[in-house]
Amino acid sequence: MFKDFIEQHRETMISTLQDILKIESVKGHPVPDGPFGAGPAEALSYVLKLAYDRGFVTKNIDGYAGHVEYGEGDDYIAVVSHLDVVPAGEGWSHPPYGAVIEQGKIYARGAIDDKGPAMSTLWALFAMKALGVQPKRKIRVIFGLDEESDWRCMEHYFRYEPKPIGGFTPDASFPLIYAEKGLVTLRIDVPADAESMSAQVLDFAGGDRVNMVPAHAVAEVDCHSSTAANEFALKIRKSAKDASINVTVETTDSIVKIYVAGVSAHASRPDAGVNAVLHLAQLLGTGTVSNSSMWRTVGSWDTAGRALGIDGADEETGPLTANLGRAELVDGMYHFYINIRFPIRMTAEQLLQDVQSFLSDKWQVSIVEHMPPLHVNPSSPLVETLMDVYRSYFGDDASPISIGGATYARAIPNAVAFGALFPNREDFAHKADENWSISDYLTCIEIYAEAMTRLANTL
């Protein structure tokens, strides 16, 4: 019954999607009423005003998160999405905040992760009200602003607001995600070798976020003479060519600067990217530089965690993945941040112990963030209801699946990830030229309107 409404409002649905995608909602320095920066605050203000102007009850919780509400009652069903995005990165053929539509796809950071799906849930709520749908339970569409970083938005929101009895997040893929791997980010600290007579690494950095495969890395090396610098640069170029590493090398007197370009991807799928930090470590490991053994060790790290002694898998959630997402040299100490997605039978504490015992005693390992795994019974009313909605639109007999990503389904009780990526579509989340099909966006509005109605009348 929602098709006619969508067709009548198609152009407005698309133009509002473009509006929200043009906002650069990357986490930044706090501003008044915007603890996560001006961009996320503007994005939240936009969606809340859009709903308020249509007569909905809205609420902004101190700039951390907000919601749009429909229906009556104390208990409620929640649909939780996020309006913050990861940095655009490099390698785009379309402006990352241009929201350009080409050949039926809209290109922008956040198109599929997660501002596009967020807008589809909001328009689903608009459709329900416009068509007079009266659910048995209240529905809240909740928007977070810190999902790509520390989830402080959800922590703050639920400090002041009651939790729902169930719901979903449109921040993964169809058919439905009933299990999510555990997530832990380990920081490995290694003292810089300041006494080395070899070429001295003066600066080293790479990556933007631990939940992205780093697309760039840079090192500055002092070779102590211009002759040595030229020889070192020549060796780095040859090593890069032999290993098919995308590198730019510059020399100025005794200083050599090495720039490595990679390909960004989501940290839960590190094999889909090209890790610039790992490639830079591999290049430094071929030369005679300070901390030479460290570079060889770091350069050996793989996406399965074998080189850290933590590889493993289980039947439900599959293999562990490891992404060296960020690295830096600060005040004489190297910091390497490894984002690990681990099977539900493992624990973060055991991974910490295993990595520490596998590495040199001089290397210190610590946990900087941790989320336990998520597992919802596939036979629960929540899963069965949403899978019934899925099958009514897609007409196949797919089963719920598990993923390595961490979604807001962990932030509320009795929740799963439901869409928004359609089956057999390439996932451009966290990649250059992130995009989403306009047709899929409009269909999701219909799917989510049905899903909200069904859940509000069932749970």
b/e map 321-345, b = 16+ CB within 10 Å: bbbbbbbebeeeebbbbbbbbbbbe
> From first to last of its 459 residues, what are the pLDDT tens digits of the chain?
899 999 999 999 999 999 999 999 999 999 999 999 999 999 999 999 999 999 999 999 999 999 999 999 999 999 999 999 999 988 999 999 999 999 999 999 999 999 999 999 999 999 999 999 999 999 999 999 999 988 999 999 999 999 999 999 999 999 999 999 999 999 999 999 876 778 999 999 999 989 999 999 999 999 999 999 999 999 999 999 999 999 999 999 999 999 999 999 999 999 999 999 999 999 999 988 999 999 999 999 999 999 999 999 998 899 999 999 999 999 999 999 999 999 998 999 999 999 999 998 889 999 999 999 999 999 999 999 999 999 999 999 899 999 988 899 999 999 999 999 999 999 999 999 999 999 999 999 999 999 999 999 999
Same domain, 215 and 319: yes
84 is catalytic: yes
Same domain, 151 and 249: no
Same domain, 165 and 30: yes
| Total domains in the fold of the chain | 2
What was the pLDDT predicted at 90? Answer: 87
Question: Where is the domain boundary, 371, 403, 438?
Answer: 371
Same domain, 338 and 408: no
Question: Where is the domain boundary, 304, 339, 371?
Answer: 371
- Annotated active-site residue in 24, 84, 427, 450: 84
Question: Where is the domain boundary, 371, 405, 421?
Answer: 371
Same domain, 321 and 402: no
> How far is Cα 400 from Cα 212, in angstroms, rounded to an integer?
25
Give the bridge partners for 179, in sequence order. Answer: 375, 402
What's at 257, amino acid-wise? K
What was the pLDDT predicted at 197? Answer: 77
Give the CATH number for residue 105.
Answer: 3.40.630.10
Q: Residue 230: CB partners within 8 Å, gap ≥ 6?
A: 251
Same domain, 320 and 244: yes
Q: Residue 130: CB partners within 8 Å, gap ≥ 6?
A: 5
155 is catalytic: no
> How far is Cα 369 from Cα 270, in angstroms, rounded to an integer?
18
Intra-chain end-to-end CA distance of the chain, in Å = 22
Give the CATH number for residue 331.
Answer: 3.30.70.360
- The answer to whether the bond into 99 is cis (omega within 30° of 0) is no
Sheet holding 216-222, edge to edge: 246-252, 255-261, 216-222, 200-206, 321-330, 333-342, 182-191, 364-371
Is the distance from CB of 188 to CB of 309 less than 8 angstroms?
no
The domain in which residue 313 lies consists of 183-371
What was the pLDDT predicted at 121? Answer: 98
Same domain, 347 and 393: no
> How far is Cα 260 from Cα 243, in angstroms, rounded to an integer?
12
- Give the global pTM: 0.83
How many whole angstroms from its chain centre is CA 90? 16
Give the bridge partners for 204, in sequence order. Answer: 219
The total number of residues written for the chain in this structure:
459
Scan for tokens 């849930």, then name that residue. 121
Same domain, 211 and 347: yes
- Annotated active-site residue in 113, 147, 171, 440: 147
> How far is Cα 294 from Cα 281, in angstroms, rounded to an integer?
9
Same domain, 332 and 442: no
Same domain, 192 and 141: no
Write out the two tokens for 73.
């009652």
Same domain, 164 and 225: no
> How far is Cα 447 from Cα 453, in angstroms, rounded to an integer?
10
Write out the two tokens for 229.
């610098």
Q: Is residue 331 classed as helix, strand or coil in its secondary structure?
A: coil
Scan for tokens 């995600």, then name that residue. 177
Same domain, 363 and 381: no
